[in-house]
């Protein structure tokens, strides 16, 4: 059975747009003061991570809460939903592979997938999706992460990434090497994975 791994945030949904544009009103019971709350929100929208990823701080907990809301509010790409439904109808095994902390976001992520009629067989959290795909024998990855786009093909993983400015024909990679392919619409991937 052919298998494909697909990322969620900013690939199958509009996570960053949601983060930038959604209204995240401060609850009156929030322990953060209004000024700190707004400062943290501005920093989060500007891309600040708070520094230490493995240290729990007031900001990292704030970031988690806002990201969790984005997971709920983000809109699925209609062409992505149609693509996954095509995969299911054509006998593909679908692995949703995300960097989300599924220890905290598993139930909400599964609910979002169900509510958006997105079929899948497995749901995994993976920091290095190239290694994940190699270990699981997955030859195709749809993902927006620059590291995966750059290095996936050199490690035998065909990477397809959303790129609104993609040309009609994907660019050729270095001599003898495959290149990741940018797409404007998920439907463009179908002939690439059928070949």
Q: Where in the chain is the domain with CATH 3.40.50.1000?
A: 3-12+75-194
> What confidence score (pLDDT) does residue 13 get?
97
> What confidence score (pLDDT) does residue 174 get?
41
CA distance 172 to 165: 16
> What confidence score (pLDDT) does residue 170 get?
47
Neighbours of 12 (CB within 10 A): 28
Counting as low any pLDDT under 50, the low residues of the chain are: 169-177
Tokens of 84: 């996954």
The answer to whether the CB of 96 falls within 8 A of the CB of 129 is: no
- pTM score, two decimals? 0.88
> What confidence score (pLDDT) does residue 175 get?
38
> What confidence score (pLDDT) does residue 55 get?
73
CATH of domain 3-12+75-194: 3.40.50.1000
> What confidence score (pLDDT) does residue 179 get?
86
> What confidence score (pLDDT) does residue 178 get?
65
């Amino acid at each position: 059975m052919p298998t494909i791994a697909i990322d969620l945030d900013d690939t199958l949904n509009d996570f960053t747009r949601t983060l930038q544009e959604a209204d995240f009103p401060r609850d009156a019971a929030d322990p953060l003061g209004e000024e700190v709350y707004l400062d943290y929100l501005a920093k989060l929208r500007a891309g600040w991570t708070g520094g230490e990823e493995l240290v729990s701080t007031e900001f990292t907990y704030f970031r988690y809460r806002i990201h969790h809301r984005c997971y709920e509010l983000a809109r699925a790409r209609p062409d992505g939903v149609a693509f996954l439904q095509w995969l299911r109808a054509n006998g593909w095994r679908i692995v949703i592979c995300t960097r989300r902390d599924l220890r905290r976001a598993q139930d909400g992520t599964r609910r979002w997938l169900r509510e958006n009629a997105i079929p899948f067989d497995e749901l995994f959290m993976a920091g290095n999706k190239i290694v994940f795909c190699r270990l699981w024998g997955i030859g195709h990855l749809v993902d927006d992460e620059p590291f995966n786009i750059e290095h996936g093909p050199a490690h035998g993983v065909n990477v397809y990434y959303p790129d609104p400015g993609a040309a009609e024909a994907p660019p050729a990679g270095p001599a003898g090497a495959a290149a990741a392919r940018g797409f404007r619409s998920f439907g463009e991937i179908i002939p690439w994975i059928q070949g």
